[in-house]
A and B are shown apart, each in its own frame.
Chain A
């Protein structure tokens, strides 16, 4: 049974707000992000909000607070994370003059809702990351208990979305994929895979995965690294589609762009364990 006072909870909210600002300010200051807020297709926008909420609930389950117990608390944390994200986004977009009262409701809501997603993710992550280290032992034990294979894949998904999101809205992704030739694209894919494998298993960061006991290289490489890259590519495909970047593109151009965005997405997937 967990016990928190209002004062403690207010401090948690403040930590979440700090995280929302730290993690999401690059996107608050990215103009493509504001534009997406009003020109995304409604159906894709809704789907995106749904996927984001699934992600928030999952993150709440896996990280939220170490003290999480039971689904009610998981849901409460995800919702309060979104509240923080939306409030912080609305505040800064208003201060930056990106939203004004003269704009129609749809434009304001679109801009705030879109930026609220990375802010909310930041809020959720920071609750754990910026927390003082007391009691992190029990926290860790709990996290370990949750690290089944599907859980691993989910965390990779979360990390991929979060990192890919930071560059996905920018025109540079499209520009880079147009400038690359086929052999550069192939090289990027290969390099991404190598970096991903190294980040997860070889470079020995704190919080890095230990090599599963008695498993051979092939098992780990295909089961985790390649699977993680697959997750990153799917995330990349989904995000570019949501942002309307794939509309009217030839198949090989789609592949180029997915591999280009797959690079940051894979970095996110590989380091998810370090962050989440």
Chain B
């Protein structure tokens, strides 16, 4: 096989190994080590704390369906929380939203909609519950 190919192109190189091959392999090795080390760090630091969801109001925008209160759910724990249900309360009104997943150390955005303008500080947010993935 090698012989025929060489014959076809007629361009044999000195040591028979193109430098591109080393570049590609070195990239693969570097990526693999990097991926592994990111996960090793997670395993090593022993941080397998339970999900801890912190909620924060970002903004209130009037929309066609009412007033959309954008919220940020940040998981301060290291484990993933699934089906995170969040309730927002503004006076007599309540609204809710669900996040499929909030991975450990990550943030996800969502929106709770109210009929009346709750104002920037008028929304009380609460996590109703979540489960393990």
Contact = CB atoms under 8 A, between A and B. Distances in A.
Interface of A: 1-10, 13, 35, 38-39, 42-43, 45-46, 49, 53, 66-67, 69, 75-84, 86-87, 102-107, 109-110, 112-113, 116, 134-135, 138-139, 244
B1 A83 contact: no
Contacts, number: 134
A43 B44 CA distance: 10
Contact of B32 (A1, A9, A82, A138): A82
Contact of A79 (B12, B18, B25, B103): B25
Interface of B: 1-2, 4-6, 9, 11-13, 16-22, 24-29, 31-32, 34-36, 38-40, 42-43, 79-80, 101, 103-107, 133
B16 A1 contact: yes
Contacts of B104: 38, 106
Contacts of A66: 1
Contact of A38 (B16, B31, B40, B106): B106
Contact of A3 (B16, B19, B22, B42): B16
Contacts of A42: 39-40, 42-43
A135 B35 contact: no
A104 B2 contact: no
5 contacts: A35-B133, A38-B101, A76-B24, A80-B27, A81-B28
B43 to A, nearest CB: 4
A134 B103 CA distance: 49
Contacts of B28: 78-84, 86
Contacts of A78: 28
A78 B38 CA distance: 21
B20 A3 contact: no
A2 B29 contact: no
Contact of A80 (B1, B25, B35, B79): B25
A88 to B, nearest CB: 12
Contacts of A87: 27
A38 B80 CA distance: 8
Given A8-B5, A78-B28, 4 more contacts: A9-B20, A9-B24, A39-B101, A46-B39
A8 B2 contact: no
A6 B4 CA distance: 17
Contact of A104 (B5, B21, B105, B133): B105
Contact of A6 (B18, B27, B35, B36): B18
Given A42-B39, A104-B106, A110-B39, A4 B17 contact: yes
A4 B22 contact: no
Given A9-B18, A9-B20, A35-B101, A3 B106 contact: no
A94 to B, nearest CB: 15
Contact of B21 (A7, A80, A112, A134): A80
Contact of B12 (A3, A38, A116): A3
The 10 closest A-B CB pairs, nearest first, are A83-B28, A79-B28, A80-B24, A42-B43, A135-B1, A2-B2, A79-B25, A38-B103, A39-B80, A82-B28
